[in-house]
Amino acid sequence: MPYTKLALARFCVLAAMRLLPPDSWAFERLGWVNDSLKMQMGRHRAPGES
């Protein structure tokens, strides 16, 4: 998946997390999705980028 789509998906996940109460089950699941997207974005970086 292109880096731009991953960034947009992560932005939407973070926006949804701001709307949900922190103790809801959906907030926890979105946290997992956010972590997964973050890891995938890390794989798409060019060598030498931090």
Q: What is the pLDDT of residues 2-41, one digit of tens each?
A: 788 999 999 999 999 999 999 999 999 999 999 999 998 8
Is residue 1's pLDDT more than 70?
Answer: no
The predicted model scores a pTM of: 0.73
Cβ(3)–Cβ(41) under 8 Å? yes
Any idea how long the chain is? 50
d(CA 16, CA 18): 5
Tokens representing 34 are 């956010």
How far is it between the farthest Cα atoms of the chain?
Answer: 39
**What is residue 2's predicted lDDT score, i.e. its pLDDT?**
77
